[in-house]
Structure 1
Amino acid sequence: MATSTSWAQDVIICDLCDKPTQQFCNSCQVSLCDTCIKKHRDEFKSLIHEIVPFLERKIQLVFPECPHKGHDVEELTEIHENKVRKIKSDTEEIKANIIPKYQNEDQNIVNTISKTKSKIDHIGRESKRLRKLWHQEVDNIFDKIDSLSQSLGEENLNALQDKGKELSIEIGGFRATLKHMSQPNLSTDVSRLATGIGKLMDKVGVIATIPTTYSSLFGVACVGGAEAWIYGNNKTITRIDIYGSVKDTVKTTCQYRPGGISVTRGRELVYSDYVSRTVNIVRDEKSEILITTPRGWTPRRLSCTRSGDILVQVYNCHHSYHL
């Protein structure tokens, strides 16, 4: 800690050199020795220097001279007052105009959002109502189509089945006649057969026309009252409705084409393969062998009975036919 003696011994040095100071420039607030006074005046010739003994110095704030020319000088208090007035003016502008303006815009946005949500909710409700209405209309249309289709299908296919039964009875009669024909009376029996066939053809009539993709139709087997399996001169058997629309197809194991088709009481498709001498049933879209005829006998036409049996027409190389 410094003592009174040590303070008395302290020497104040000139600000421009290392010599003890004797003078003081009140204008520049600089301590000077006698030697540096001239140097100080020469360095700042544009300023007025008040040089006094050091003990008579006056301590004051000194602002450096602005090196730029042509600057407007204003009082600090005036600048402060101007700034305060500008702040008050801006504050009043913000309170009176800007804040209300943005509050109004914000409220408009809130109102627009509310209206938009209401419109979206209304559109959603209207969409659900129309969807329900249109679904009901579509259901009604297809219910009418299904009802009409079922009615027409049952009517047409039942008529075809009845006509087929009549033809089968007539053909059976002709076969019996042919079986009992004798060689001497062949011409007479042929004449009787021709007459019978003519009478039978007179009873044949078209009750419905169903379009198919087959150029040659070899066989038909009804499935219920509205559909039927059909086949032609290829390996494929096709299930169609009364309008000819394809509902299902089965590719058989036949080398050329089926010999005959029928439908079981359980509505399973069966077909004969005259090359492999088999009668096959279709289950899960695959063919399974039900019957293999004895060597020399070839299966052809098929007929499923109500009791669940299958009648198979077979023939041999001597053209002998049996069921």
Structure 2
Amino acid sequence: MCAWGIAPALAAGNTIVVKPASETPLSTLYLAKLFEEAGFPAGVANVLPGAGRVAGEALINDPRIKLMSFTGSTEVGRHIGEVCGRNLVPAKLELGGKGAAIVCSDADVDAAVEGLSGALLFNAGQVCCTASRWYVHESVYDEFASKAKAHFESIKLGRGLDTESQMGPICTQKQMAKILECVAEAQAEGAEVICGGKRPMSGELAQGFYFEPTLLAGDDSNKWAQEEIFGPVTFLIKFSDEEEVVERANRNQYGLANSVWTQDLAKAKTIAHELVSGNSWINAHNVFEYGLHYGACNQSGCGGGVNSRATFEGYLRQMSVAARR
């Protein structure tokens, strides 16, 4: 993500200053070492580690900054946007998300389960643009839920250096505790835990910040069917009417990344265009095509460029559609 943000700035001839997240600075510092080994002139690529309230605050208020790009929480993004607005500095903000996936009655259920599970469990669910609201048509709901449960329960948790591991730990103890709290609150509001919902309590995994892949089911009025959890947790929601479900999906405050799963190309393009989000995929999720604009809307931020509605057509299975508002 760091390279994704800084590559265009460097290619356009700018110098850059990167403030990595306080919890994960090492990869960015290693990238700075590679810049040095590659022969970059001193001062072109700079890394400023530190706490957001100190290093980050100093950086966003520095008058020498001419453009700001931020990936992180909506709360912090609002503050950065406010400061940049006062300083008349353009800001690209990629913030929180609660992506919706609409699985239609004619979807390839096996492909949908595999694709959505892969998107959700990547990086232990700590991805803004994943899909964590799965709207599934009533005619395939039971089949989908059963196969998703089996897939989740087959995932092998383990350390990142373990070649057999399929999902690693949560980044911090604080975030793991928040996920536990979110699942408990969702249950208190009537959600059913189909699988997961807890951390491993025995063996080596009990010593780390691991959390089981979790499938919740219930009504989308549930708070945690609408709010970002930032972990390997998704909410399964049954629907019967395709026009209604698009409207329900669009009620959410975020607008980062959605997807639609169907074998009807015309239907897929229609629904993808109607979903309010910076990005909408068809029969895929988190598949990025080089050269297509990546942005957001609503509480997920703004792209910092011209948001035009554009579609990229390819094979139905792997089609990527970017829906612009």
Give the TM-score of the pair, scaled to structure 2.
0.21
Q: Which has the larger radius of gyration?
A: 1
| Higher RCO (CA 8 Å, separation ≥ 6 residues) | 2
Give the TM-score of the pair, scaled to structure 1.
0.21
